[in-house]
Amino acid sequence: MHRRILSTLTAVLVTLGAAGCSAAPHIDLEDAWRWAEQIDQHPPAGYVATASFLSTLPGHTAEPPVVLDFAAPMQLEEFRVACYGGTDVLFGYELAGISSAHARVSCDQQPHTVSPESFATQSVRLTATSTIPTYVVVAAIGGRATSETESDSDPSADPWEGYYDDQMQNQPAPALLSFGGSFGPPDAVSVAQTTDVSMSAGHHLVQVQCDGPRSLAVTLAAIADDGDDTEVSEGEPAETTLINCPVIALLELTTTQPGLVVRLDSRGEPGGFVVRVDPKEFAPED
């Protein structure tokens, strides 16, 4: 069961399905990746989510799709789109199946503003196609769909929303994947989960920071290779660790095939969390 990715998501999604294009003559994808990683660590003011990902060739789609999910409806005002390498990309977005559009963006490594028709949405799917694959960084700008007054007077408002915003925006070092937020308002607490099918096989360090619930069940699992491309399921190994909050815990899992599932279960108690997979400050020195 998948939960909604919360509103301060910073997802570094590497679409390895397009890695066969890494020999493209005009763009060094390692340089592009380093640039995207740097840009993604400094999101603009007013952002509610960011993503960096590899563009695909025309006629192809990213696997897995690049999707930003929010715990509550967000009013998206614009996207800031930047890409690397002197080419251009056709950037596309779909707001929860309500509105979709495309805009061509020049890859001059500067942010370009793309303004969608304003909708309150809880899900945004992003795409980028180009004749030469390159990395694209997108920041979604907006805010909660409800007014500040309504939120303040609403007894079900989430007191943990934004609790870890500073940590998300000022991380000590980049991580392959990081996401954070809250488990929802007291009357609608949900399990937090993210699945990255492109995560390389190997030994992974997962840093979990939490506050609010008395304890947190953290499950790290590989992705099952069951031959079904339409649905992702957990495989082996899978380990669940119970940690007491508040804490910063460092957990480990070694996988033998690509993909990683991270699930946080606060057992019905509200609170906030930050997860960082393979943070660079713990990487072994060469």
For residue 284, pLDDT beyond 60: no
Of residues 157 and 37, the one with the higher pLDDT is 37
Tens-place pLDDT, residues 180-199: 888 888 888 889 888 887 78
Q: What is the mean pLDDT of residues 136-141?
A: 92
Residue 265 has pLDDT above 90, yes or no: yes
Domain with CATH 2.60.120.510 in the chain: 175-282
Q: What is the pLDDT averaged over residues 205-229?
A: 85
Contacts of 204 (CB under 8 A, 6+ apart): 220, 252, 253, 254, 255, 260, 277, 278
CATH 2.60.120.1300 correct for 8-145: yes
Residues of the chain with CATH 2.60.120.1300: 8-145
pTM of the model: 0.48
Backbone angles phi, psi at 214, to 5 degrees: -70, -35
Residue pair 8/68 in contact by the 8 Å Cβ criterion:
no
Q: Look at 145 and 182; give whichever has higher pLDDT.
A: 182
Cα torsion for 178, 198, 91, 146, to the nearest 10°? -40
Q: What is the pLDDT of residues 97-119, one digit of tens each?
A: 555 678 889 899 999 988 776 66
Contact call for residues 258 and 204 (beta carbons, < 8 A): no
Output the pLDDT for position 8: 33
Q: What's the distance, CA 211 to chain centroid?
A: 21
**CATH superfamily name and code, 175-282:** Mitogen Ypm (2.60.120.510)
**More confident of the two residues 276 and 145:** 276
Average pLDDT, the chain: 78
Longest CA span, the chain: 57
Rounded CA separation 284/134 (Å): 28
